[in-house]
Structure 1
Amino acid sequence: MTNSSHLTAFAGKRKVASGTLHSLAPALKDLVTADPHAQILIFDDQSGKQVDLNLHGSLADVLQRLPRPQAEMEEMAQVAAPRSVGRPKLGVVAREITLLPRHWEWLATQPGGASVALRKLVESAQRDNRAVVEQRSARDAAYHFISALAGDEAGYEEATRALFAGQRQQFEGQLHSWPVDVREHALLLAQRSWPAVSQVTPQ
């Protein structure tokens, strides 16, 4: 989780706030001050995993313990980094790889040489695999969230199986009796996990 990650906070099974960690802290501190027994859970919307926030002490204490905002960290890094003369480094890392002779022969015939060809192949594979990676990340995020807040809800096991099977209608059908805020957030996190064909709504 980065300092700029978007988070959603629940008190029990009721959504109470959303935003960055720094924007959530004052609202959540007010909530636990008014209700010391409130059970606060905070989730990273990207991963679905829980985020710790120490709300003990005064608001000043809470804010003091938070990591610096991302914008402030970047500004400090720019100020601290010495300006170099000449061309900027491209970030190329040299490592050993092992290929069969026919692979090396093919790479030698490619424009720009072996290194350029390999970089293009890797970038192409990353583009082709991006949708699959995003679907898997969204599925895992939804799973982490419902495991934490809906494990005792009716249809939880069936919903979990449907989620991992990519069965959107079956998943959504199991959530109808869940608390509204939990259901809506689970559907939001799972939205990007479904295969493209299942996201098309029939006319």
Structure 2
Amino acid sequence: MSVTAETPCTAFRGDRRLAAGDAPSVARALRTALAAEPDGPLVLVFDDATGRAVDLDLRETGGELAAPHTPRGPGRPKLGVVAREVTLLPRHWDWLNAQPGGASVALRKLVDEARKEGEAKDRMRRAQEAAYCVMSALAGDRPGYEEAVRALYAADRLLFDGLTADWPADVRDYARALAADAFAVPGAVSGDPAAAG
């Protein structure tokens, strides 16, 4: 997974949180920690937005991670407009072209409406996925792990908090922070069927 200088990350060494912040800050903290204790426990770095493990290039000496080169494509990049291909049936194109402003305006409106309608559930799903990724890596062998995953996907905050209470403080607190939005939509249950059964 690619990391930019702005990517918010959290680094763990075993059960202990070493650093949190933007990628260059975390990389500097890791260089210092690894120099002080080269044979210590395994180091894992997570993207705070997705919960996925990321690799930081600790060889960087300029203090900044290079921004990935993004080639310019079609569209109006200065306006933030990107051209892509969409495949639709002729009746869909006919309907889109009949809309005020044409197909592009109609598609943008449809996407914006869909984003607004599903925003809370999408935020919940992203929180569940992020917390699950971190929990799998840091707490997969902990007592109550499987039950905590079920509670996460069932949006049962009280049960989740109870099951994670005895985990190491840094692991527990990070998992709870990532999972916070998973419990924000009352009555909405979204999730992984494998985790629920």
TM-score (norm 2): 0.76
Assess if the C-alpha contact under 8 Å between 2:96 and 2:106 holds in 1. Answer: no
Structure 2 unpaired stretches of 5+? 73-77, 188-197
Whether 1:155 and 2:152 are equivalent positions in the alignment is no
Which residue is 2:12 aligned to?
A: 10
Sequence identity, in percent?
A: 39
- Between structure 1 and structure 2, the one with the greater Rg is 1
Change (3 A) 1:111 1:169: same
Change (3 A) 1:113 1:175: same
Whether 1:143 and 2:146 are equivalent positions in the alignment is no
Change (3 A) 1:99 1:173: farther
TM-score (norm 1): 0.74
Which residue is 1:53 aligned to?
A: 56
Instruction: Report the residue type matching 1:163 in the other structure.
Output: L
1:126-137 → structure 2 map (5 Å cutoff):
126-137=115-126
More helix by share: 1
Change (3 A) 1:97 1:177: same
Change (3 A) 1:152 1:120: same
Assess if the C-alpha contact under 8 Å between 2:120 and 2:185 holds in 1. Answer: no
Structure 1 unpaired stretches of 5+? 56-61, 82-86, 199-203
RMSD: 3.1
Whether 1:97 and 2:100 are equivalent positions in the alignment is no
Instruction: Report the residue type matching 2:23 in the other structure.
Output: L
1:1-203 → structure 2 map (5 Å cutoff):
1-39=3-41, 40-53=43-56, 55=58, 62-64=59-61, 68-70=65-67, 90-93=81-84, 95-98=86-89, 100=91, 104=94, 108=98, 110-197=99-186
How much does 1:118 deviate? 3.3
The size of the alignment, in residue pairs, is 178
After superposition, the C-alpha distances for 1:63-84 in whole angstroms (9 at most, x for unaligned) are 24987344xx79xx8xxx9xxx
